[in-house]
Amino acid sequence: MTPAVPGLTFHMEMGPMSECEKRLLFSSDEIARHVERLAREISEDYQDGDVVIVGILKGVFIFLADLVRQLTIPVEIDFVRLASYGSGTTSSGTVRLTHDVELNLAGRDILIVEDIVDSGITLTFLREHLLSRRPRSLRICALVDKGERRSVKVDLDYVGLHLDKGFVVGYGLDCKECYRYLPAIYELIL
């Protein structure tokens, strides 16, 4: 028999929901409140800006989409793709740029938008890389600031949520490419 919603049947029978236990950490309402606050702060700070938002794929795609739709200032948007985690839950310690920004950044106000900061290695690498494009300014916005394993000091200008430790999924964040579609953020019980 053809299921009414084939994708749903797939997830129920053999999808990621059955792979790991998870615990709700941040509900979609709580996330939305913080995204709204961040959008307000950013819009106020960049009244006279020439802003290019640089999102870090893939994890940022839902956060960035929600954030930019609440900004009250014009922005341009570009993306980078960085590889540091592979398919595991701990950093490899090295970062590789696999897709670079295409917009011209010289003399402009860059706002890096990241899903979650852990060791700080990814953002430090990207910050240095983008500074070489000679922007007028560069700031960083992160949805989640996870403190436990910070090994490189990185100044975050806008932070949505704080987390001590744990590996989280949902709202764009994955574990081996699963869970990105979940509307809230969960801690995986590994």
Kindly list the residues in this chain that would bind ligand 5GP in the complex (CB under 6 A).
56, 59, 84-85, 91, 114-122, 146, 167-169, 173-175
Q: Which is nearer to ligand 5GP, 62 or 119 (CB)?
A: 119
Residues 120, 154: Cα–Cα separation, whole Å: 6
With respect to ligand 5GP, which residue has the nearer C-beta, 42 or 169? 169
Q: Which residues contact 78 (CB under 8 A, 6 or more apart)?
A: 52, 53, 54, 55, 101, 102, 103
How is residue 84 written in tokens? 């540091």
Please give the angle made by the CA atoms of 111, 179 and 60, to the nearest 5 degrees: 5
Residue 157: how many other CB atoms lie within 10 Å: 15
Is 118 marked active-site?
A: yes
Question: Which is catalytic among the residues 66, 109, 115, 118?
Answer: 118
Closer to ligand 5GP by Cβ: residue 2 or 162? 162
Which positions are catalytic?
Answer: 118
